[in-house]
Amino acid sequence: MPPLSSVLLIDDDPTTNFLNKALLTRMGVAQQVLTAENGEQGLRTLGQTCLGPDSAACPHLILLDMNMPVLNGLGFLEAYAQLPLVQQQTIVIVMLTTSLHPVDQTRAEQMPIAGFLNKPLTKEKVTAILAQHFA
């Protein structure tokens, strides 16, 4: 499988972003791995990479944390759902979290996400995502 053009990691923990970026880079998953520390930064990144004249850098995969300051995962998903449908159809979002309250999980399941994964991200989990959504 050829590498994705771009993956976006949205997590408020810089260490988690660093480790996940290193894993994805080592696996050759994407030409570019972008990071954001909260949902607001993630939306700004999408605005810069997906709405501009060079939309080739638009992420094909977003790994999204649930609990973050400024704008959490649910807030990000609510704002994301307002983006043009064309953009949404090209992006797979996977919620990557340590734990999920049942109420939050129910709300998230009503949003445009492809599924949930427990942290930490591993080579096996990445391989499964790629096989399921990008084979």
Q: Which CATH number is 17's domain given?
A: 3.40.50.2300
Write out pLDDT tens, residues 44-95: 999 888 876 667 788 999 999 998 999 999 999 999 988 775 566 679 999 9
pLDDT at position 85:
56
Return phi, psi of residue 92, to 5°.
-100, 125
DSSP run (H or E) holding 17: helix 14-27
How distant, in Å, are the alpha carbons of 29, 124, 127 from that of 131?
12, 10, 6
**Predicted TM-score of the model (pTM):** 0.92
Q: CB of 5 within 8 A of CB of 58? A: yes
Provide the domain limits for residue 88. 4-134
Total domains in the fold of the chain? 1
